[in-house]
Amino acid sequence: MFHAVCGELSVAGRAIAAMRSPTDMHIICVDITNRCDLRCSNCTRLLVNQKNLWDMSADHFRAALRSLEGFPGVIAMIGGNPCLHKEFPDLCQVFVDEIAEKRQRRLWSNNVFDHQDLISETFGFFNLNPHNDRRGLLSLDTCGTQLPRATSTSIGRPRSSKTTASSAPISARSRRRLISRVAAIMAHP
């Protein structure tokens, strides 16, 4: 599949062949938007350099979650800031509909805005990293009282949490099904 005309693996093929399979991961992140309220110079997502904003549709989010059927680990909703997605409440409902185990549903964000109740109902774990932004720190303070499992990785403002990620091994059958689904998705972007 990734062979060049001469029969050797292409650069992309070698990189993909060297990667760990998603079935070997404990956490799989689903990126739902590149919208972000911050402009961090050290953004690992390079969001500052992206001119066009995009949001994953609810149908695509549902398809992504269904492709992870049988995955026992954590499925995290990420983005720029997922809470800025135009359809964030709808995506939360899709998450609940598709992933029955609340402990598997996670959110990584820098600010929750007015979504504290929805986040508490939807996610088994919530990671808030306000990047020392004043509004994000205020969000952290609010979440500290409303969402007892909120955490922060900001220096000087630690909050702790008990994580409940599953470390149960995936069955060989589930692994094969997941690999074939990922391969099909990669083949038809």
The pLDDT tens digits of the residues spanning 66-92 come to 999 999 999 999 988 999 999 999 999
The pLDDT of 165-184, averaged and rounded, is 48
Q: What is the pLDDT of residue 160?
A: 38
Q: Is the pLDDT of residue 131 over 60?
A: yes
Q: What is the pLDDT of residue 75?
A: 96
- Domain contains 151: yes
Instruction: CATH number of the domain at 169, please.
Output: 3.20.20.70
- Domain contains 130: yes
Q: How many CA atoms does the CB half-sphere of 51 hold within 13 Å?
A: 0
CA atoms of 76 and 14, how far apart (whole Å)? 27
Q: What is the pLDDT of residue 89?
A: 97
Strand partners, 62: none
DSSP secondary structure code for residue 152 in this structure = B
The pLDDT of 27-55, averaged and rounded, is 82
The residue that leads in pLDDT, 92 or 177, is 92
- Domain contains 131: yes
- Domain contains 5: no
- Domain contains 31: yes
Percentage of the chain beyond pLDDT 90 is 34
Mean pLDDT of the chain: 75
Contacts of 168 (CB under 8 A, 6+ apart): 72
Enclosing domain of residue 145:
24-187
- Domain contains 164: yes
- Domain contains 10: no
Q: Is 12 helix (H, G, I), strand (E, B) or coil?
A: helix
Say how many domains are in the chain: 1
